[in-house]
């Protein structure tokens, strides 16, 4: 059984996720690969005190990248699980206390 603090790893902050947050009330998180949709929903509701309407999950595959020194395929970005959470009401302030 995972604790709710272990389920949420970090938010995904990109231009697309900023648009999704402002227009669609959807937020993206990197979550533990063992967590399911019900556990993710409960963790988000407990951590941010919001009501979650829907959770979508995607397993992002590992990627290989090029080494800039000798142009060989060496670097590897590890795989992770991404959760896109749709809120029914409320919002999540990801940059609380910044500025």
* DSSP class of 80: E
Residue 96: pLDDT band by 50, 70, 90 thresholds?
A: low
List the domains of the chain with CATH numbers: 4-89 (3.30.70.330)
What is the rounded distance in angstroms from the CA atom of residue 86 to the CA atom of residue 28? 9
Per-residue tokens: 58: 């995607």
Residue 69: pLDDT band by 50, 70, 90 thresholds?
A: confident
What is the mean pLDDT of the segment spanning 10-19?
Answer: 93
Residue 95: pLDDT band by 50, 70, 90 thresholds?
A: low
Average pLDDT, the chain: 88
């Amino acid at each position: 059984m995972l604790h709710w603090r272990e389920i949420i790893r970090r938010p995904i902050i990109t231009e697309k996720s900023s648009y999704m947050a402002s227009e669609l009330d959807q937020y993206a998180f990197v979550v533990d690969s063992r967590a399911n949709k019900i556990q993710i929903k409960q963790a988000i509701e407990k951590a941010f005190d919001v009501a979650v309407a829907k959770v979508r999950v995607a397993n992002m595959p590992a990627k290989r990248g090029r080494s800039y020194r000798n142009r060989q395929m060496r670097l590897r970005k590890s795989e992770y699980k991404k959760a896109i959470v749709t809120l029914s009401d409320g919002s999540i302030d990801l940059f609380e206390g910044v500025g």
